[in-house]
Chains A and B, each alone.
Chain A
């Protein structure tokens, strides 16, 4: 069983940490360096946790729990206009990042208004690429109820609705509702507001726990971190200057390289003696050609395909 933890400290002696992670069979999920400060999100075997934690403390860092590590979450507002940005959308995104998720902030093209707001098929298919989706709506109950039904009911991934008043009759459209955070023009700094942000983190964690449980019933053929370790040495990804060239999902990962240029190389890589293209569904992202989505097939799916091949 693997556990995900985050090291938060300096770069001093960080090479020892990387060596230990490799020695215990773990993997670095994400590392972010800012001047002399470093955060490393890592997945390590549970039995080696104590050793890794002891080294982290020994080199002067802290160890934090990151319940949302290995997930990519979209935080969506009605638009990217100044009415909705940066507060409170960015406060929520920051909270989710503190819990370990990689977040993407998005605005709909025509999400504003009450009777005229809409979500396009392209937008729903982009949102379906993420592990979960957090929707931010406003302060009026009537508007929230109208828009929740309109916008959220078309999305397939787990959704969390954040809004001001407690809406009624929208329970079927989303997986969780956090009320008490409506439209505002300043940072969420007060004690009550920080509590609300903690509640958002907890609710997203609960929603993803349900998804993880569903995935565990028929797990992926390989763990996404194993494919991440495989792809890390692939030159276009190794040389990619984007902040997180590989982003893990619960059932796969996103590689931020061109699909047209790289999909054949990726498909032909080998994992457990099989072509990656045979155990994963590799598709271009709906956003544009600059990223590739790798969805790992489940064990039963791979076994079924094997049996079909054997019978031919």
Chain B
């Protein structure tokens, strides 16, 4: 199912362009497909901006077994990475566990590991933690929000992330509005602000 983006704000031109900008940036980092629904609130007169994102599923940790295939031959584990995006992370994780002397990158996507007892041990090594996708999405939200709107707060609950931002003082009513937006997204996306 495609991601749904809703924009609320008094400036129709800005709303339309920010929707396109938001979708472009999320597609750029490869996270648009992981998002179920997004709600963007743009009030440039104040200025107050809020972006609330509900992901399709609760982010889970990625292990080497998820991003690569492994096989063992004569005490050597051969790792063949299927998603290049995880190649640097896989190499770092293997170095941390088996040491640099025992891990060799023979090709762009192929790694050999000496010292592992079973290929399943290599499969179980974590490449990306659960917080990583959340950090990526938050980074994208900071990139979408105007550069000068730097006083920011974040709310996170399982699969919903909400970021609010204003230019100078973050007033209690701003925080309340952001929290209300966040709760409405947690409750299923019915706006109550």
Contacts and interface: CB of A to CB of B under 8 A. Distances in A.
Contacts of A183: 17, 21
B115 interface: no
A83 B147 contact: yes
A288 interface: no
A115 B167 contact: yes
A78 B44 CA distance: 16
Contacts of A100: none
Nearest to B145: A83
Interface string A239-270: 00000000000000000000000000000000
Interface stretch (A48-56, A136-144, A272-280): A136-144
B147 A78 contact: yes
Interface in B140-157: 143, 146-150
A115 B14 contact: no
Contacts of B45: 142
A184 B44 contact: no
B143 A83 contact: yes
Interface string B1-45: 000000000010110011011001100100000000000001011
A165 B148 contact: no
A164 interface: yes
Q: State the main secondary structure of chain A at its contact with B.
A: loop
A184 B18 CA distance: 8
Interface in A117-173: 117, 138-143, 164-165
Contacts of B148: 78, 112-114, 116-117
A81 interface: yes
Interface residues of B, number: 22
B89 interface: no
Contacts of A143: 44, 47, 146
A36 interface: no
A186 interface: yes
Nearest to B148: A113
Given A79-B147, A185-B21, A186-B24, A114 B13 contact: no
Most chain B Cβ neighbours within 10 Å, of A81, A112, A113, A140: A140
Given A79-B147, A83-B146, A185 B17 contact: no
Nearest to A163: B13
B14 A114 contact: no
Contacts of A116: 148, 167-168
A185 B18 CA distance: 10
Contacts of A186: 24
Given A83-B147, A113-B149, A117-B148, A165 B14 contact: yes
Nearest to A84: B147
B104 to A, nearest CB: 36
B167 A140 contact: no
B47 A114 contact: yes
Interface in A67-85: 78-79, 81-84
A139 B13 contact: yes
Nearest to A117: B148
A236 interface: no
Most chain A Cβ neighbours within 10 Å, of B13, B21, B42, B45: B13
A186 B27 CA distance: 11
Given A140-B11, A142-B11, A142-B45, A112 B21 contact: no
A-B pairs, top 10 by smallest CB distance, nearest first, are A113-B148, A112-B148, A140-B44, A83-B147, A165-B13, A112-B147, A139-B17, A140-B14, A185-B24, A139-B14
7 contacts: A113-B147, A114-B146, A114-B167, A116-B168, A139-B18, A143-B146, A165-B11
Interface of B: 11, 13-14, 17-18, 20-21, 24-25, 28, 42, 44-45, 47, 143, 146-150, 167-168
Interface of A: 78-79, 81-84, 112-117, 138-143, 164-165, 182-186
Given A139-B21, A142-B44, A186-B24, 18 more contacts: A82-B143, A112-B146, A112-B147, A113-B146, A113-B149, A113-B150, A114-B47, A116-B167, A139-B11, A140-B44, A141-B13, A141-B14, A142-B45, A143-B47, A164-B17, A165-B14, A182-B13, A184-B20
